[in-house]
A and B are shown apart, each in its own frame.
Chain A
Amino acid sequence: MKSRFLFSHKFKHLGWILFSTGFVLGVILLWNDIEYPNWETNVFPLIGSNDIFSSTIFEWTSNNIADEIASILIILGGILVSFSKTKDEDEYISKIRMESLIWATYVNYMVLVLAIIFVFDLSFLNVLIYNMFTVLLFFMLRFHYVLYKSKKLTDEE
């Protein structure tokens, strides 16, 4: 069966490596209030900031790029893990994939709505940070869990 929009199976391993590297780096950063590791580098922001009330446009500045690297690793790795074909991708697995994607979207926005209602001010910034990755995370958890369950059921036959 031809499945559109999916990566070849060989990218799945690379995805896991990138994702776990980004995940570990992200956890270390969150533990240290995004101050350590400090990989200060010159960056060119499209929109910079002087303070909360005014922003600069097109001006070089310096920034710890560790959190940017962690975010990109998690997103890139998560996409590769989620959307690389399984070794035996077929129409039934594609159905599990689609259902998991719908499920993950629902759960992600349910959690976000709860957070909108119950979390305020600066704490909400943390919610936004997690929410950048949760849709991929929920998908990965649900998809692999259902695959594992159906594999186990088949092995019992």
Chain B
Amino acid sequence: MKNDIKVQRAIHNLTQANLAEMIGVSRQTINAMELNKYVPSTVLALKISSIFKKSVNEIFFLDNND
């Protein structure tokens, strides 16, 4: 699975630390998701989508490996 978190973060002018604090996770989690090393739970994906005011499908996409 891929995601657009880094781009969305730039658009909203948020650092990894800002976003981490807003959704109550560690900074490592944000970084690991942006590096496609970690697939978040549905709860976390929904929290992220609500921060960026977009639907989950607009931020997270399936890739060829899924």
User: Are the C-beta atoms of B25 and A154 separated by less than 8 Å?
Assistant: no
Closest 3 pairs (CB-CB, A-B) = A88-B26, A92-B29, A154-B31
Q: A residues bordering B, Cβ < 8 Å?
A: 1, 86, 88-93, 95, 147, 150-151, 153-154, 157
Q: Which residues of chain B from 1 to 58 have a CB within 8 Å of any chain A CB?
A: 16, 24-33, 35, 38, 40-41, 43-44
Cα(A89)–Cα(B41), bound, Å: 15
Which residues of chain A are within 8 angstroms of B25 by Cβ–Cβ distance? Answer: 88, 90-92
How many residues on the B side are at the interface (Cβ–Cβ under 8 A)?
17
Q: Is chain B's interface secondary structure helix, strand, loop, or mixed overall?
A: helix
Given A91-B29, A91-B40, are A154 and B16 also a contact pair (CB < 8 Å)? yes
User: Are the C-beta atoms of B16 and A92 separated by less than 8 Å?
Assistant: no
Cβ 8 A contact of A157, one of B31, B38, B40, B43: B31
Which residues of chain A are within 8 angstroms of B31 by Cβ–Cβ distance? Answer: 150, 153-154, 157
Cα(A95)–Cα(B25), bound, Å: 13
Cα(A153)–Cα(B26), bound, Å: 13
Given A91-B40, A91-B41, are A154 and B27 also a contact pair (CB < 8 Å)? yes
Cβ 8 A contact of A92, one of B24, B26, B43: B26
